[in-house]
Amino acid sequence: MDENGADLSHDGETIGRLEVRGATLFDGYLNRPDATAEVLSSDGWYRTGDVAVIDGGGMHRIVGRESVDLIKTGGFRVGAGEVETALLGHPGVEEAAVIGVPDDDLGQRIIAFIVGDAEPDALIEFVAQQLSAHKRPREIRLVDSLPRNALGKVLKKELTGWL
């Protein structure tokens, strides 16, 4: 779904909110109607918090979390994971994390945090050659390491404090 609740194109590229429903889905949070209303629509669709694309055959591919992995830039919706995958294809990149930060012109600007020895301008061009131009990072930050939780997951929300 888009942010207005409309179905999106099944083109394998258009990113939207993943919502599910079924007989085995929970009815809501115990004694928490406010929390239930945040995640369940009136007609029973559960908002997972994931963002995904659907191809012409109906196959869903989760591309990240709506809260940290969906970047709205220049009128486009960009999945951070797609940009991270492109960056990781460069031999000078060991690790990559991509976030969107507020931008007066674009809505959000794509920034990549990179562990490795790649040249930032070369990385931006590398991504632009693989993905649509609007998906390229506007800025590359070289860092020694990425912040992680105890399970090793990158804490993207902490990266905004590194700006």
Q: What is the CATH number of the domain that holds 51?
A: 2.30.38.10
* pLDDT for 2: 83
* pLDDT for 51: 86
* pLDDT for 117: 96
Q: Is 127 contained in some domain?
A: yes
Split into its structural domains, the chain has a count of 2
* pLDDT for 141: 96
Structural domain harbouring 107: 66-162
* pLDDT for 121: 95
pLDDT along the chain (163 residues), means of 10: 85 89 91 92 89 91 82 90 94 96 94 96 95 94 95 90 87
* pLDDT for 5: 82
Assign 3-class secondary structure to 21-78. Answer: CCCCCCCCCCCCHHHHHHHECCCCCEEEEEEEEECCCCCEEEEEEHHHHEEEECCEEE
DSSP state, residue 33: H
> Residue 99's closest CA among 163, 17, 151?
163
Q: Is 40 contained in some domain?
A: yes
Instruction: Name the pTM for this structure.
Output: 0.75
**Statement to judge: residues 59 and 105 lie in one domain:** no
* pLDDT for 115: 97
* pLDDT for 110: 96
Chain centroid to CA 153: how far?
A: 14
